[in-house]
Chains A and B, each alone.
Chain A
Amino acid sequence: MTKADDHPLLSVRNLRTYFHTFSGTVKAVDGVSFDIGQGEVMGLVGESGGGKSVVGFSILGLIDSPGRIEDGEILLNGKDLVTAGEAALRDIRGRNVSMVFQDPMTSLNPLHTVGRQMDEVLRLHTDLDARARHVACIEMLESVGISRASERLKSYPHQFSGGMRQRVVIAIALLARPGLIIADEPTTALDVTIQSQILKLMRQQIAEKGASMILITHDLAVVSEMADHITVLYCGKVVERGLTRDLISAPSHPYTRGLIASIPDATDRQDRLSQIPGSVPDIRNLPMGCNFRERCPRAQALCAQQEPELMPQHGSLRAACHFPLAPGDTA
């Protein structure tokens, strides 16, 4: 393996994943590019239906019909996953790239014991014998904070609470020591009190193992605590990206600012939470020009005619906007 500075761990270039449905083509991911270095955490942020999960599934080659990766490159350690065959992808899944799903209540097989589901990963990706795998499973369960691990291996998922199940899912994702973990809304389905525990656990585990992570979420508050840099998606396109502190403190895209403004803030007592007016347009039938213009307070005539390109802004930011915000802009 070459050094991390030579090329990033994961480099997504101009990815297009389309779904060909009866009512038209859904361009769920439309020309998305980003890089993740070794040990980095990237936040992938956007509203529901913005194509965030599809990015994750595209990386793992888990896009099912009628969906298809139409174009682009997904380079993992310099090797393209888009053109890799199913056998090569199967080898990468779980071993090099693993995934944590949104809902721990449904992501474990209800009819297999937790131990069997953990063991499966090690059986697929390591040469360990049964005893060594058993020991590895116990260690991993303990490291995600599940006590009496050797007993719990014999339990079924329904004998665990939601938070505990997500710990199990995380343990499964970490078992084969993958370099990249894709966490798709890992705390959305959990109690608020459990959320921060799980996030803390993930951050600590990833740091310990030196892994990188893509944290997919709609929750900017979560990302701002976890991520080194953030990519904001809107209607399948990157509208803004940059280092977390730049993007959170002074976003240059009006959409990002809308997302940040809608985070409840305990220090700033408002009667109503701020929200972005309108809703995501029909992705099968996107308007000309900028996709966000109908909801944008800064939109002008140009926005309806020409689609903005991703351009360098202040600090580390790049944004796709004809009329980007400068730091300190309020309107």
Chain B
Amino acid sequence: MFGYLLKRLIQMTLVLWVVSVIVFMMMSFTGDPVFMIVPIDATEAEIAQARRILGLDQSLLVQYWKFLGSLLQGDFGQSYVFRQPAMTLILERMPATVELVLVAMVFAIAVAIPLGVYAGANPQSRMSRLIMSGSLLGISLPGFWVGMVLIYLFSVHWGIFPSSGRGDTAEVMGLRFSVLTWDGWTHIILPAVTLSLGTMAIILRITRAGMMEVGRQDFMKFARAKGATKNDVLYKHGLKNALIPVITIFGLQIGDLIAFATITETIFSWPGMGKLLIDSIYRADRPVIVVYLMLVALIFVVINFLVDVIYTLIDPRIRLK
């Protein structure tokens, strides 16, 4: 187990290092941030000085070395725009994004698993076909369109839910949560539903495929021959055996949603880090983008590690090596 953790840690570090190289290269080839900082009427000398202060006058290799050095010290630089540490900026907004994503994932699972199990257990029924058609819709409809339709229907037309912001929040251990207040709930429902549809559809389809596969196994029939109820057979015996691919996709989707909740956050003016990213890209606010990308890479790597650990909890035949 210790050997596995060590190996995994080295692997994760390696991945993050490669990401840092890619991020740095990308940043160096996209625009010159100096012009975002100096006034429009700056002289050549002022521009050169700004360049020197930012360290942009040195060779790429030296720049990367310094970049890596400060990364390792936890120094991600100051935002050019906000004049604040980039990390602080992002960490301020991250809880809002994480909250939105988690609520969306809970929605997705609460709907996708029961429907997927049903559709997998009764592939011929009319209801299953309806579910499968619905899931195709969920996969193909673009999020921004769904978001706008939901706003039109629920905010503009019926006036049930507000269309933007987080609403009232309650603070727990220094973090603010919308889901702890009623007003917050009404604010989070529309963006969470918008964000969840794609994931819901994918998880539903994978659950169904897994259940169809498992349904053919002898032990399912043996469980029935023992006198177990239909639900026990499906959920206790079947679902657990169908869960490995579901968990895999679930992990990837969480990472995906945290990284790319941007569109949904923009539509619903959700004050998360996705919106910050968009703003930073417009303003070529390099440090913020770098921190954002590194953080997303870290989230992916950690979630994948957790998924591997969860495998072993589900299936005793899988060992961490």
Contact = CB atoms under 8 A, between A and B. Distances in A.
Contacts of B225: 60, 62, 93-94, 98-99, 101
Contact of A107 (B124, B218, B315): B218
B122 to A, nearest CB: 9
Interface in B204-236: 217-219, 221-230, 236
B315 A94 contact: no
B222 A158 contact: no
A98 to B, nearest CB: 7
A111 B318 CA distance: 11
A98 B226 contact: yes
Given A106-B219, A158-B316, 10 more contacts: A65-B124, A101-B222, A106-B217, A106-B218, A107-B218, A110-B317, A112-B240, A120-B228, A158-B317, A169-B222
Nearest to B230: A86
A70 B221 CA distance: 21
A60 B315 CA distance: 30
A125 B241 CA distance: 25
B14 interface: no
A172 B229 CA distance: 17
Nearest to B241: A111
Given A65-B124, A172-B226, A101 B221 contact: yes
A106 B224 CA distance: 14
Interface in A106-125: 106-112, 120-121, 124-125
A91 interface: yes
A121 B227 contact: yes
A93 B230 CA distance: 13
Interface residues of A, number: 30
Contacts of B124: 65
Contacts of B229: 90
Contacts of B230: 86
Given A94-B226, A110-B241, A103 B218 contact: yes
- The range of chain B's interface size is 20 to 34
26 contacts: A60-B225, A62-B225, A65-B124, A86-B230, A94-B225, A94-B226, A98-B226, A99-B222, A101-B218, A101-B222, A106-B217, A106-B218, A106-B219, A107-B218, A107-B222, A108-B219, A108-B222, A110-B317, A111-B241, A111-B314, A112-B236, A120-B223, A120-B228, A124-B226, A124-B227, A124-B228
Contacts of B51: none
A182 to B, nearest CB: 9
A93 B227 contact: yes
A323 interface: no
Contacts of A111: 240-241, 314-316
Contacts of A34: none
A147 B218 CA distance: 26
B8 interface: no
Interface of A: 57, 60, 62, 65, 86, 90-95, 98-99, 101, 103, 106-112, 120-121, 124-125, 156, 158, 169, 172
B241 A109 contact: yes
A95 B227 contact: yes
Most chain B beta-carbon neighbours within 10 Å: one of A91, A111, A158? A111
Contacts of B237: 109, 112
A90 B316 CA distance: 29
A190 to B, nearest CB: 15
Contacts of A95: 227
A97 to B, nearest CB: 9
Nearest to B240: A111
Nearest to A89: B227
Query: Considering the complex of A and B, which 8 residue pairs feature the smallest CB-CB distances, nearest first?
Result: A94-B227, A93-B227, A106-B218, A94-B226, A99-B225, A107-B222, A109-B219, A107-B218
A177 to B, nearest CB: 13
A224 to B, nearest CB: 27
B222 A125 contact: no
Contacts of B317: 110, 156, 158
Contacts of A103: 218
Contacts of B226: 93-94, 98, 120-121, 124, 172
Given A107-B219, A112-B237, A62 B227 contact: no
B117 to A, nearest CB: 16
A274 B67 CA distance: 83
